[in-house]
Structures are given as C-alpha cells and as structure tokens.
C-alpha cells in the first residue's frame, strides 16, 4: 500500500486519508472513493497498482501485525511507535500515581493490552471527584502508545446505533 493510498475491497474502492480531529490529531480513515476519480487523477494504469482484498476484518496485533490477513484488509492499525530498550522511570512514576495501591495490577493490565490485544479484560475506570489528578493525561499517554487504535468516546457514542467509528479500536 506504500505505492498508492487506495485499496479495493470487493468491488469498492477506498482511499486511506488522515482526517483531522477537533483535538488537533489525525485519525486514519478509509473513505469510499470512485474508480473514475482515481483514473482521472492518476491515469487508468494506476488501478493495476491498487491492492485488492476480498473484504474487511479486524485482527489486532502489536507484535506480529499484518495489514492483509487471508485476503482480507485488516482495519486494525499498526503502531506508529515500537518499544525499544531505554529508561522509563517517568512513565513508571506516572503509572504509580495513576494506579496507586493497584500499581502492579495496572502494569499487568497495560502489558496484556499490548501483548494480547484480543484478550477480554475488565473495563478500566479512573474515578476521582478532584480535578488535575492525571485522568486525561493518562488517556493522552495511552493515545501516544496505541495511536489510531484508541479513540475518545462521549456518552452519545454509547447510545448511538452507529459504532463503526470505534468498533475496531482497542481502547
């Protein structure tokens, strides 16, 4: 997919775009695209470069990610940043602050999210009546790690019939 931002799934064409968010970030989104428009923009020969898939699937993996899985386009996103050896004392101090007496449990939870993203885990709720305790900062920290596989939801998101925007997200 590096040669072209387009894919064909079944008989439909899509373009991978980076949609801006109100928070100033960008989310990778597949937008339905017209075959004639691709021809007009790039010439008819360009269609032969477009990767073809039988359908969509969502196979989360951070260790052995594959964009294509048995002929299907994987809607899960590869991580933009991979772990490497180094110092992480600031993150550990932050996590100790967030999880408090449940620090070890918090580390286990984060490790499972990374190593086994398909394992069912309990829902993590950070609750505090106080402001400026790190709840939002923790979400932003997770967003840096899990990138396009994390989204922010509102109460309306849960009551809506339409969950396609977040159905393939880890968090």
Cβ atoms of residues 150 and 169 within 8 Å: yes
Q: How far apart are CA 55 and CA 49, in angstroms?
A: 18
Q: Match 């373009």 to its residue by tokens.
A: 15
Q: How far apart are CA 141 and CA 104, in angstroms?
A: 18
Beta pairing, strands 12-20 & 26-33: antiparallel
Burial class of residue 72 (count of CB atoms within 10 Å of its CB; 0-12, 13-18, 19+): middle
Q: pLDDT (tens digit, 9 = 90+) per residue, 88-124? A: 999 999 999 999 999 999 999 999 999 999 999 998 8
pLDDT of residue 69: 97
User: Given this model, what pLDDT does residue 123 score?
Assistant: 87
What sign for the dihedral angle of Cα 46, 49, 51, 54? positive
Q: Name the percent of the chain lying above pLDDT 90.
A: 66
Sign of the alpha-carbon dihedral angle for 109, 110, 115, 119: positive
What's the length of the chain?
A: 171
């Amino acid at each position: 997919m590096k040669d072209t931002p387009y894919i064909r799934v079944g008989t439909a064409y899509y373009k991978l775009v980076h949609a801006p968010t109100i928070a100033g970030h960008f989310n990778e989104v597949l937008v339905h695209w017209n075959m004639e428009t691709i021809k007009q923009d790039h010439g008819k020969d360009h269609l032969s470069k477009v990767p073809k898939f039988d359908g969509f699937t969502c196979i989360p993996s951070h260790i052995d990610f594959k964009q294509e899985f048995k002929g299907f386009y994987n809607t899960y996103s590869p991580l933009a940043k991979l772990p490497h050896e180094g110092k992480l004392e600031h993150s550990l101090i932050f996590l100790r602050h967030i999880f408090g007496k449940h620090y070890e449990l918090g580390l286990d939870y984060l490790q499972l999210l990374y190593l086994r993203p398909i394992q069912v885990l309990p829902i993590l709720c950070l609750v505090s009546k106080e402001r400026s305790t790190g709840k939002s900062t923790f979400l932003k920290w997770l967003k840096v790690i899990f990138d396009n596989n994390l989204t922010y939801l509102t109460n309306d998101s849960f009551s809506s019939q339409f969950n396609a925007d977040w159905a393939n997200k880890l968090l």
